[in-house]
Structure 1
Amino acid sequence: MTGLHTLVVRQDNLGDVLLAGPCVRAVAAGSGRVTLLVGPRGSAAAALLPDVDEVLVWEAPWIDPEPVWPGSDSVLDLVDRLRRRRFDRALILTSFHQSPLPTAVLLRMAGVPWIAAISDDYPGALLDVRHRLDSDVPEAERALDLARRAGFQLPRGDDGRLRLRAELPDPAPFVGPEPYVVVHPGASAAARTASAGWWARTVRSLALRGHRVVVTGGPDESALTRAVAGSAIDLGGRTTFAELAAVLRSAAVTVAPNTGAAHLSAAVGTPVVSLFAPIVPVERWGPYGIRSIVLGDQHAPCRGSRARRCDLAAHPCLDAIDPRDVGGAVEKLLRNSSLEREYPRVWKQGTTGILRSKPPTGSTCQAQFRNEES
């Protein structure tokens, strides 16, 4: 299959595209050329993935969390762009709650002769390979499993971890000398992160423990990082995604919620203290293939809700974390190079600590949450 021109589709956020990286490398090992179709929110990550020959960008209204119908002209233009590239095969990557079938319709219109995807819905003639697997598989492994089902394998010596292209900018102009700890407070959905006040207390706590702190954030997060940073270095809105990757690669540890920065940190090999709200399962979406400690109540009422906004006062699953526990987790990662991932014990107010056990998979959550994530 080495002469194939293969299309891989992943039209989500930055972290989703990074998690597709091992799948893309497997496809590249069995193809002559790889094109990656992403949404605008994930395009900066696509530019950093190895083995991608071309990136196409188009916002899918059945995937984007703030969907807008693009109009028939935009749809037909995409179909024309795809048709002109004469793809031999396509893999459509989606999360468990998304359908690949609208994308498959467009690929069929573009003349793609062979399409594979994971689909719980009956695909009719839209898919040549309809793959199904356990929904609790980590997202990177879910995509890689589809690649294997489609006949692609990682090359010999590839461990399947997240990875970026080797060339990244020099972070020194942004951060000065090492060592330092990165704190990244922002997230694409408010339910995924703690309050600005909590993050400010955590930055102060880390500084009091003797850590040099660098606060990072995206272009629309400069007000948040300014409120959080205090005397720490504030890089909110000052770096490109590639420059952020370089800053994270030189960091000792990253402290972040479930957001693209956590996955970017994993991709550059930096350990993560993950402040993880249980709106999605940590087993699927926690930092992948990197040493990490997960903090946050994984049995909060929002468990599994995919909420974009927390409807509970004071965001208890994250704001109740003692900032001192964050410092302890940072220092544990610095001390213990053999640690893989630790999860919080069953959370009760007033308790702290972490154990080496996965949280149970069942949930008795009765709370109702609005603004479900796409």
Structure 2
Amino acid sequence: MRALVVRLDSFGDVLLAGPAVRAVAARADHVTLLCGPRGAEAARLLPGVDEVLVWEAPWEGFDPPPVVPADIDALLARLRAGAHDTALILTSFHQSPLPAALLLRLAGVARIGADSTDHPGRLLDVRHRRADGRHEVEAALDTAAALGFPRPPGDDGRPRVLPPPDTGALTGPGPYVVLHPGASAPARAWGRHRCAEAVALLTDAGHRVVVTGGPDETDLTRRVSGDLAVDLGGRTDPRTLAGVLRMADVVISANTGPAHLAAAVGTPVVSLFAPVVPAERWAPYGVPVILLGDQSAPCADTRALTCPVPGHPCLDEVTGQDVVRAVHKLIQERPS
């Protein structure tokens, strides 16, 4: 059986789809993961994926591309060449799978399943309705099971990635905690002054701190690190970042891709979680987590990209000392 899994949005979303991908891979001979550009690197980290197909959908992302018939025709040609017998479309609770289902039907995929609240017409062979309050990992596994891909025996259902490299040469010797100050959406980011405060207080408490960030976040990581932390801003690709996070005692991060990557390598997370999306669906999954941030703030469940409340009270009221206490609690509770 040649199976196709579709998850078209971000890095973290693709990581959270990983357990469902493994469920498909346990019963399929070949698994292709169709994802968007922002999720492609995460797709290449997932166990069970044989091929990654990248396409930027005109209904996904903060700034989606225009609808270009030639692009759609090229995608359909690639999908037809894949000769997929079945497809699992994974979406978030607020998204519709039907645009992707229409393309897959046009590409000749015989059996298609998805989580959908919309009437699917002839687009879906299996329409699953997720239970209330299910985390995105659990909802994806439920949808896979409805299509005939139950979680394999012995699989714990947690996000995982392929083994990362040794990154000791980057981080230096000895234990450390990671602070990742950036976020894909401004509404989810902890303030730079708070991040710098946390670095200083963690250092005073005897922790070695490693600050991580992407190539476009080097100014942020430099300012947050100061003279106290190891600054790895712009120095890690996703696979290397996985290695850095795997060896950390704790990772401190907003609700963004590296928080889910930390969970996928088994590291506890202090989650600075702005409630613009529900924590019950999007918190790091499968590892010890301490959630910081006012989950009842006025911005709750708005899915806003910038905080609609002046002063960003849901996160800026979290102090560096709050983070230090959370780090100490997770380290004390971590099995030796």
Quote the Cα distance in structure 2 between the aligned partners of 1:277 and 1:319: 10
- Structure 1 residue ranges (4+ consecutive) displaced by more than 2 angstroms after TM superposition: 311-314
In structure 2, what is the equivalent of residue 275 of structure 1?
272
Which one of 87, 92, 95 corresponds to residue 95 of structure 1? 92
Q: Could you tell me the TM-score, scaled by structure 2's length?
A: 0.98
Q: Deviations over 1:107-149 (max 9, x none)?
A: 0110001100011111100000011022421000000000110
CA distance in 2, matches of 1:236, 1:287: 22
Equivalent AA in structure 2 for residue 49 of structure 1: L
Task: Provide the identity percentage.
Answer: 59
Give ranges in structure 1 of 5+ residues lacking alignment. Answer: 339-374
Give 3-state SS (helix, strand or coil) of 1:312's partner.
coil
CA deviation profile, 1:281-328 (whole Å, cap 9, x unmatched): 100000101011001000000000000001323211111112111001
How big is each residue's C-alpha offset from its partner over 1:134-166, in whole Å with a ceiling of 9 and x where there is no partner? 242100000000011011122221111111112
> 1:259 aligned to 2:256?
yes
Matched, 1:226 2:222: yes
In 2: Cα distance, 1:244 partner to 1:70 partner: 34
CA distance in 1, matches of 2:159, 2:102: 30
Which of 58, 61, 70 is the matching residue for 1:61? 58
Among 195, 209, 213, the alignment partner of 2:209 is 213
**1:327-338 paired onto structure 2 within 5 Å:** 327-337=324-334
Structure 2 CA distance, aligned partners of 1:102 and 1:194?
A: 35
Instruction: Please list the CA deviations of residues 81-111 of structure 1 after superposition, one character each: whole Å capped at 9, or x if unmatched.
Output: 0001100000000001111111111101100
Which amino acid is the alignment partner of residue 200 of structure 2?
R
* Separation in structure 2 between the aligned mates of residue 246 and residue 32 of structure 1, nearest angstrom: 29
Distance 2:220 2:319 in 1: 20
Higher helix share: 2
The residue matched to 1:311 in structure 2 has which SS?
coil
Aligned-residue CA RMSD (Å): 1.0
Name the CA distance, whole Å, in 2 between partners of 1:330 and 1:46.
Answer: 30
TM-score by length of 1: 0.88
Partner Cα distance (1:64, 1:123) in 2: 23
Residue 129 of structure 1 corresponds to: 126
Q: What is the correspondence of 1:206-355 to structure 2 with a 5 Å cutoff?
A: 206-231=202-227, 232-337=229-334
Partner residue in 2 for 1:199: 195
**1:116 corresponds to which residue?**
113
1:182 paired residue number: 178
**Aligned-residue offset at 1:245:** 0.4
Cα shift at 1:70: 4.8
Rounded to whole Å, the distance in 2 between the matches of 1:152 and 1:178 is 42
**What is the Cα deviation at residue 30 of structure 1?**
0.9
State which of 17, 33, 36 in structure 2 corresponds to 1:36. Answer: 33
Distance in 1 between the 2:22 and 2:148 partners? Answer: 13
Greater mean alpha carbon deviation, residues 11-20 or residues 215-224: 215-224
Indicate if the aligned counterparts of 1:63 and 1:98 stay in contact, CA closer than 8 A: no
Residue of structure 1 in register with 2:165 after alignment: 169
Aligned length: 334
The answer for unaligned runs of 5 or more in structure 2 is none
The corresponding residue for 2:73 is 76
Over 3 Å counting, the alpha-carbon distance change for 1:77 and 1:135 in structure 2 is farther
Residues 243-287 of structure 1: CA deviation (Å, up to 9, x unaligned): 000000000100000010110000000000000001111000001
- Measured in 1, the distance between the counterparts of 2:77 and 2:198 equals 50
Q: Which amino acid aligns with 1:253?
A: V
CA offset digits 1:220-250 (Å, max 9, x no partner): 1111111211121111111100000000000
Q: CA deviation at 1:9?
A: 0.3
SS in 1 for 2:252: strand
Contact 2:194 2:319 in 1 (8 A): no
* Superposed counterparts of 1:348-367, under 5 Å: none
